[in-house]
Amino acid sequence: MKILDLFNLTEQQQTKLAGLGDVQVIEPQDLNDNNSKEIDAIYGWDAHAEEVLTASPKLKFIQSNSAGVDYMPLSEFQKKGIILANVSGIHAEPISETVIAYVLSFARGIVTTAAARPDKRWVGDQVRMQNYTLKNRTAVIFGTGHIGEAIAEKLQFFGTRTVGVSRHGNPVAHFDEVVTDDQGTDRAAKADFVINIMPLTPATKHFFNKEFFDEMINHPVFINVGRGPSVDTQALIDALDQYKLAGAGLDVFESEPLEKSSPLWEMDNVILTPHISGGFQEYGAEAFDILYKNLASFIQTGEVAVNKVDLSAGY
Amino acid sequence: MKILDLFNLTEQQQTKLAGLGDVQVIEPQDLNDNNSKEIDAIYGWDAHAEEVLTASPKLKFIQSNSAGVDYMPLSEFQKKGIILANVSGIHAEPISETVIAYVLSFARGIVTTAAARPDKRWVGDQVRMQNYTLKNRTAVIFGTGHIGEAIAEKLQFFGTRTVGVSRHGNPVAHFDEVVTDDQGTDRAAKADFVINIMPLTPATKHFFNKEFFDEMINHPVFINVGRGPSVDTQALIDALDQYKLAGAGLDVFESEPLEKSSPLWEMDNVILTPHISGGFQEYGAEAFDILYKNLASFIQTGEVAVNKVDLSAGY
């Protein structure tokens, strides 16, 4: 079986895959008209994968190296009977830590005082007693999967009340309460922090729009570590300008890289990071563990062991 | 008994104090040559207090509104038999949250990417996999009192190994290990985070100097939420310039406000806050609780109930 490697497997990792039996790793630079027809599996996704998807009738398993798979042609996978697995789970720790970094940067006056730094203004007396701690604050988290749960666990540790929002509203560990989508806006309106970690689907596109932000009577800090297009960017900018939101922590954007013309770059009450919240030094090793488990299972049974994507739901 | 209020007691708080018996609250604007001779107690500290210290032979109790008391004439208190209490304890939560904000801002790439923001550079690919999580990192915390312990508890929650440094090296909750002062530099050298929360005493002045920073082989992030003069500022700047330190999170400085000529203002790998890490919205209420407890006790027994400062040790 031939697997196309689009995520830079190390030599050691390749050796380990070879131990599964008749596994041949093809690197993208070695892809040609002959072997592209014979690819059984792909690790990762880029233009080479699109080629192979067209060329190889044998392609039956794709292991993505991301949690979200909205950038892949899912309906085509469905038509061709291709099994897709993601690496959902490994992002929970890094992303939840980034969320806590955002939240505390707002709570502890780091964002406010950073705005005075270019002018070297010492604003201690103005800011000191405006600061707050996370105790008895409320966070509403849209999305109660692995990552949402990890965020909730950390916020609960700091004494913050956690409200989850999901399609089903079923209880999830580390949430004081979980409500359904239709109650989410109401809970968010009264919260201190509103955090998005929903996958991008037709149902979540522009979920955070003018109507949503208009409801935010408690001026929460809005955090997006989910997907950029879940947010109507112009509505977000307006909400920040009009102090419907106290601030925003944004790792993802409707178009990436964020265009240089975006006002977000220059807004004092916004923390920006360039879609890095899921990254960490051990990412390659942890993603490989999932690939290895799934490839082993796929070879033996034709099914993956973990993290199979529901191609209709999109995650 | 007359108490001089230098920390803006609310009307409600004044009423509560009056309930202790014959307590009269004097506001600084009402201080005059007559009543300044009759002050028994002071809440807070400023130039008015210095006056009263000279004028009033009756002054026997001072409740500071800070944790550190290094800015007060302690030896004069000692000579005059004045009891001093601080509000140590109420800063543990806010300061430890600020430390976690600093630590995570470095770990999660927020500091690095902020440096690229003025030029609107999208540095995701460069930073994403350099990020790290706090799991299995090591933090060396100089000072194992209330605040040090609260910092250690939070870091342990994130999976960071915590090493405390104290004069005595006695075990303290939430520290994986506590070592004595003489072993501190060696532990710090191999750490990821070096955090100062020691009080300022002759023994801690310029404790973090060139000799200390020269030892830092693991390029830790240095965090100071203790006192500014514990650090030799020029040595710190040099250590940052020479990458002996990966970065610094600084809330306190040798001279405050930080002078506009300080290079620290413009260093990309430094987070600066203007001595605000101990502040939070409920500060006044929590400090009052300590004043109330101590004044009640002082009236009844001539001794305070909590947080008495050892005037020889300086904390």
Chain-chain contact of B109 with A260 (C-beta, under 8 angstroms)? no
- Rounded CA Rg of chain B: 22
Is any Cβ of chain A less than 8 angstroms from the Cβ of B261? no
Which residue type is seen at B134? L
Report yes or no: B272 at the A interface, CB cutoff 8 Å: yes
> Taking a contact as any Cβ pair under 8 Å apart, which residues of chain B between 93 and 112 contact chain A?
93-94, 97-98, 100-102, 104-105, 107-110
Residue spans of the domains in chain B: they are 2-89+281-301, 92-272
A302/B contact by beta carbon, under 8 A: no
In this prediction, residue A315 carries a pLDDT of 86
> Hey, are the CB atoms on A284 and B105 less than 8 Å from each other?
no
Is residue B315 pLDDT above 90, yes or no?
Answer: no
Contact A276 B122 (CB under 8 A): no
pLDDT, tens only, B246-278:
999 999 999 999 999 999 999 999 999 999 999
**List A256, A259, A282, A303, catalytic entry:** A256
Is the predicted pLDDT of residue A15 greater than 90, yes or no? Answer: yes
Is A131 close to B276, i.e. CB distance below 8 A? yes
Query: Residue B113 is nearest to which of A100, A108, A274, comparing CB atoms?
Result: A274
Closest by Cα among B11, B13, B72 to B286 = B13
Band of pLDDT at residue A141, cut at 50, 70 and 90: very high
A44, A45, A47, A50 alpha-carbon torsion, rounded to 10°: 110
**Phi-psi sector, A96: left (phi>0), alpha (psi -120 to 50), beta:** alpha
Q: What is the pLDDT of residues A251-262, one digit of tens each?
A: 999 999 999 999
Average pLDDT, chain B: 97
DSSP state of A124: H
Burial of residue A63 (CB within 10 Å: 0-12, 13-18, 19+) is buried
pLDDT of residue A56: 98
Burial (CB count <10 Å: 0-12, 13-18, 19+), residue A67: buried
Strand partners, B180: B166
Q: Where are the beta strands (DSSP E) in A136-188?
A: 138-142, 161-166, 177-180
| A179 pLDDT higher than 90 | yes
pLDDT score for B289: 98
- What is the average per-residue pLDDT within B272-297? 97
Distance CA B100, CA B103 (A): 5
Beta bridge partners of B178: B164
In this predicted structure, the answer to whether residue B73 has a pLDDT above a threshold of 90 is yes
- Which of the four pLDDT bands, split at 50, 70 and 90, describes residue B169? very high
pLDDT above 70: percentage of residues in chain B: 100
CB contact under 8 A, A98 and B105: no
The tokens for A93 are 């720790």
CATH architecture of B2-89+281-301: 3-Layer(aba) Sandwich (3.40)
**For tokens 């010492």, what's the residue?**
A122
Tokens of A204: 């979540």
Rounded to 10 degrees, what is the CA torsion of B47, B48, B49, B51? 90
Share above pLDDT 90 across residues of chain B, in percent, rounded to a whole number: 97
> What would the mean pLDDT of B149-167 be, rounded to a whole number?
98
Provide the ipTM: 0.91
- Average of per-residue pLDDT across B42-55: 97
Which chain B residue is nearest to residue A153, measuring alpha carbons?
A: B157
Whether B71 has its CB under 8 Å from any CB of chain A: the answer is no
**Position with higher pLDDT, A225 vs A200:** A225
Residue A44 has pLDDT above 90, yes or no: yes
Listed residue (A207, A259, A305, A252) closest to A91, CA to CA: A252
Sequence-separated (6 or more) residues with CB below 8 Å from residue A38:
A2, A56, A58
Residue whose C-alpha is closest to residue B162's, from B133, B183, B135, B141: B141
Q: Are A4 and A41 in contact (CB under 8 A)?
A: yes
Cα gap B9→B288, rounded to integer Å: 8
Instruction: Band the pLDDT of A213: cuts 50, 70, 90.
Output: very high
Superfamily (CATH H level) for A92-272: NAD(P)-binding Rossmann-like Domain (3.40.50.720)
- Which residues partner with A42 through β-bridges? A4, A62
Statement: residue A168 has pLDDT above 90? yes
CA distances A249 to A105, A142, B144, Å, are 9, 15, 33
Of A127, A274, A281, the CB nearest to B129: A281
Residue A156 contacts B, CB cutoff 8 Å: no
CA distance A88 to A127: 39
Pairs of residues, one from chain A and one from chain B, whose beta carbons lie less than 8 Å apart? 150
Residue A60: is its pLDDT beyond 90? yes
Q: What is the pLDDT of residues A258-311, one digit of tens each?
A: 999 999 999 999 999 999 999 999 999 999 999 999 999 999 999 999 999 999
Nearest to A282 by CA among A80, A45, A91: A91
Contact B87, B292 (CB under 8 A): no
